[in-house]
């Protein structure tokens, strides 16, 4: 098969394809489009970047060219895992259906319900939606799915990762049993296999590449990195990332940097901008309008580096991405295939580099096992700087309130040795001298305590009248001032006689 004209598509669709600059269908398109036009269920398995979107968009437009949409009852349904992928499918629909009078509605989060309700009320031929927002409209009574003739599930394995499988099963049950189903995925996990066996009827299976394989025209590499200190890992990884981007020079026309965590997406974007590399973040916590604007700038070439979480790893069609950098090793091996699939699209060459820390080696081994290929090791571009970090760590550190330890000088060592020698000589002399101890003049402990008490008594001030005991005789009664009652001065016998 040499061109799209052999696929029996509507002439108006062929004109739109030609104007878009496409001439030859990809293997997945050549296999899926004729089967879909014949009304068969299709199970398409292909690596990302092989043209799966056109594989279901073109036959869907062809079959919907006849007929008319009814209010709140879309004629076809396309389910996508993310807002960005849903928006991309809508763009493809606009591109290929511009010569036909077909209508569409895009149901995604971050957009007003009112505007979406107005489109549904008018009736649409194609409804493109994320599962959550679609069910929101259905539960509000604004949407009926009993008129769906064609149902498409795109990036099914990503749906599984994001926990959408229960929603997908519910949506399947809301659509007619007689619908035609087109099911596309890059990998086939056991849960995905179960879904296809349940809801697809004798599907035509089209597998144009081994499951979870990377495109052959993508040059892969990995930097095995170990931080000089645990708290410096993020800083040193960002330094390696900047060195990798700068090392590519003019070859790196634009690039996507993938991080596992949203917080790292923001930090990496700020770091790149700080050091003169134009970058912007995109992840699920950002407002939809900001995400859309960032993607538009990246596609238009106004933005050189897009720092993204896995929300941008699936299905985003930016044909001219020259490089993909994995700041983190993905937790799931399949995500690596989807990430690097953002480059090397439509037959172009691409390059991808990953930074692997020791704690990521297990996930890295899983990736190599999945793609059945050893990823070439690349020398750390800042290896010398890392050695400097290690050298600095060996230097003594100043602690608060203490001076850093310094080795003793030779003079000090000699002085210590001399002192020790003198001590040893003195001990030896004492050992030779006869025992001529002086008699023990130490007083008995009881007597010493008595004398110490008397001294304290004489020195302690009189607390009763503020006068010192030194001004009184020892026989004077303390505490009565200058006056003492006469009976106290009497002896015992005198008191008894009186």
Does 464 fall in a domain?
Answer: yes
Q: What pLDDT is stored for residue 240 in this prediction?
A: 96
190 and 152 in one domain?
A: yes
Q: What are φ and ψ of residue 82, in 5° steps?
A: -130, 160
103 and 42 in one domain?
A: yes
pLDDT level of residue 234 (50, 70, 90 thresholds): very high
Q: Which residue has the higher pLDDT, 285 or 397?
A: 285
Last residue of a domain, one of 207, 236, 256: 207
Does 213 fall in a domain?
Answer: no
Does 228 fall in a domain?
Answer: yes
% of the chain at pLDDT higher than 90: 51
340 burial level (CB within 10 Å; 0-12, 13-18, 19+): buried
Does 463 fall in a domain?
Answer: yes
Does 149 fall in a domain?
Answer: yes
pLDDT level of residue 205 (50, 70, 90 thresholds): very high
192 and 262 in one domain?
A: no
Residue 413 has pLDDT above 90, yes or no: no
159 and 20 in one domain?
A: yes
Q: What is the CATH number of the domain that holds 360?
A: 3.40.50.300
pLDDT level of residue 412 (50, 70, 90 thresholds): very low
String of b and e for 277-290 (b: at least 16 CB within 10 Å)? bebbbbbeebeeee
Q: Which residue has the higher pLDDT, 163 or 33?
A: 33
Range of 43-57, 310-324, 471-485 with top mean pLDDT: 43-57
pLDDT level of residue 421 (50, 70, 90 thresholds): very low
Domain extent, residue 129, equals: 4-207
33 and 92 in one domain?
A: yes
Residue 397 has pLDDT above 50, yes or no: no
Average of per-residue pLDDT across 422-428: 48
Would you state the structure tokens that stand for residue 179, as one six-digit string? 């619908």
pLDDT level of residue 136 (50, 70, 90 thresholds): very high
Query: Which residues touch 160 (CB under 8 Å, ≥6 apart)?
Result: 189, 191, 192
Q: What is the pLDDT of residues 330-383, one digit of tens each?
A: 988 878 988 888 888 767 889 999 999 999 999 999 999 988 889 999 999 986
196 and 229 in one domain?
A: no
Does 421 fall in a domain?
Answer: no
Last residue of a domain, one of 167, 186, 207: 207
Does 345 fall in a domain?
Answer: yes
Residue 125 has pLDDT above 60, yes or no: yes
Average of per-residue pLDDT across 80-88: 89
Average of per-residue pLDDT across 154-166: 87
pTM value is 0.63
122 and 30 in one domain?
A: yes
344 and 232 in one domain?
A: yes
300 and 173 in one domain?
A: no
Q: What pLDDT is stored for residue 318 in this prediction?
A: 77
Q: What are φ and ψ of residue 386, in 5° steps?
A: -65, -35
Q: What is the pLDDT of residues 110-119, one digit of tens each?
A: 888 999 999 9
188 and 237 in one domain?
A: no
125 and 46 in one domain?
A: yes
296 and 236 in one domain?
A: yes
Does 399 fall in a domain?
Answer: no
Q: What is the pLDDT of residues 21-30, one digit of tens each?
A: 888 898 899 9
Q: What is the pLDDT of residues 4-17, one digit of tens each?
A: 988 989 999 999 99
Count of domains observed in the chain: 3
Q: What pLDDT is stored for residue 212 in this prediction?
A: 62
Q: Mean pLDDT for the chain?
A: 81
Q: What pLDDT is stored for residue 415 in this prediction?
A: 44
Q: What are φ and ψ of residue 42, in 5° steps?
A: -125, 135
Q: Which residue has the higher pLDDT, 344 or 280?
A: 280
């Amino acid at each position: 098969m040499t061109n799209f004209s052999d696929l029996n598509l509507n002439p108006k669709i062929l004109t739109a394809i030609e104007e878009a600059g496409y001439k030859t269908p990809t293997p997945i398109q050549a296999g899926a489009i004729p089967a879909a036009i014949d009304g068969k269920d299709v199970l398409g398995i292909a690596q990302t970047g092989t043209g799966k979107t056109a594989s279901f968009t073109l036959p869907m437009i062809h079959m919907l060219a006849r007929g008319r949409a009814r209010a709140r009852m879309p004629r076809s349904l396309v389910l996508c895992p993310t807002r960005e992928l849903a928006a991309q499918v809508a763009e493809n629909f606009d591109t290929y259906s511009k010569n036909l009078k077909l209508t569409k509605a895009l149901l995604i989060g971050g957009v007003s319900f009112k505007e979406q309700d107005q489109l549904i009320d008018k009736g649409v031929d194609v409804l493109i939606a994320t599962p959550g927002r679609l069910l929101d409209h259905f539960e509000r009574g604004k949407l009926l799915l009993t008129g769906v003739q064609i149902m498409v599930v795109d990036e099914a394995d990503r749906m599984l990762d994001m926990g959408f499988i229960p929603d997908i099963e519910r949506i399947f049950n809301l659509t007619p049993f007689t619908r035609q189903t087109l099911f596309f995925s890059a990998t086939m996990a056991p849960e995905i296999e179960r879904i296809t066996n349940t809801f697809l009827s004798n599907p035509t299976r089209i597998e144009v590449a081994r499951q979870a394989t990377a495109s052959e025209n993508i040059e892969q590499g990995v930097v095995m990195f170990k931080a000089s200190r645990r708290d410096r890992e993020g800083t040193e990884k960002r330094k390696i990332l900047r060195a990798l981007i700068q090392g590519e020079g003019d070859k790196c026309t634009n690039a996507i940097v993938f991080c596992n965590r949203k917080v790292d997406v923001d930090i990496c974007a700020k770091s790149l901008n700080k050091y003169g590399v134009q970058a912007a973040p995109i992840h699920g916590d950002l407002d939809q309008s900001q995400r859309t604007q960032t993607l538009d700038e990246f596609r238009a070439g106004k933005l050189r580096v897009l720092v993204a979480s896995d929300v941008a790893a699936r299905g985003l069609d930016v044909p001219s991405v020259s490089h993909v950098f994995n700041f983190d090793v993905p937790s799931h091996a399949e995500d690596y295939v989807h990430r690097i699939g953002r480059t090397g699209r439509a037959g172009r060459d691409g390059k991808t580099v990953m930074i692997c820390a020791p704690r990521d080696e297990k996930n890295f081994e899983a990736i190599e096992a999945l793609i059945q290929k050893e990823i070439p090791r690349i020398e750390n571009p800042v290896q010398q700087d890392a050695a400097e970090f290690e050298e600095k760590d060996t230097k003594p550190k100043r602690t608060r309130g203490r001076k850093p330890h310094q080795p003793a000088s030779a003079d000090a060592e000699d002085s210590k040795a001399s002192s020790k020698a003198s001590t040893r000589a003195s001990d030896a002399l004492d050992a030779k001298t006869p025992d001529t101890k002086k008699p023990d003049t130490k007083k008995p402990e009881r007597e010493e305590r008595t004398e110490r008490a008397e001294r304290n008594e004489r020195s302690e001030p009189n607390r009763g009248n503020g006068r010192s005991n030194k001004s009184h005789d020892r026989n004077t009664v303390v505490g009565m001032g200058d006056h003492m009652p006469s009976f106290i001065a009497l002896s015992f016998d005198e008191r008894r006689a009186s």
